[in-house]
Amino acid sequence: MAATLRGDRPTDQDRYVVVDGAAAVLDGETSWLHTYHGPEPRDGGWYARALGTALTARLPGHGTALNVILDAPIADRRDAYGLKPADSPYSTSTAAPPSTGTCLSEPGATSASSPPSVAK
């Protein structure tokens, strides 16, 4: 079971990805950017949704390190949408591999902030 809670924005800024063998939580950061207003705002929620969609296609990764799995969709979204650090929405991400426990802070879990600055 998973859930998110909308904050003070018109759209939910958080997303989760659950697939057989892995889970990730993407926390779209509130954006003050000019891209927030408009019919298709590019805010933290937009970025979390775009990243979540790309991440879903790569999870569970079958032995690939979770940081590598997260890096590829971040770079893909950056390139596809021309995102630039300090001028684009971003998200924090936490992902966990399959395990017998339920804690995302167990060995093998990874957490990252993903402004679109992953090096090419």
Residue 35 contacts residue 41 (beta carbons within 8 Å): yes
Distance set, CA 87 to CA 7, 35, 59, 111, 120 (Å): 22, 9, 28, 22, 18
**Angle subtended at Cα 105 by Cα 103 and Cα 110, rounded to the nearest 5 degrees:** 120
pTM assigned to the model: 0.69
- pLDDT of the chain along its 120 residues, tens only? 455 555 555 566 778 788 887 788 888 776 566 555 666 667 778 888 888 888 888 887 777 777 788 888 888 888 888 888 777 877 877 777 655 444 444 444 444 545 544 444
> How much is the pLDDT for 118?
44
Place of tokens 């950061």: 29
Q: Which of 37, 36, 15, 41 is nearest to 114 (CA)?
A: 15
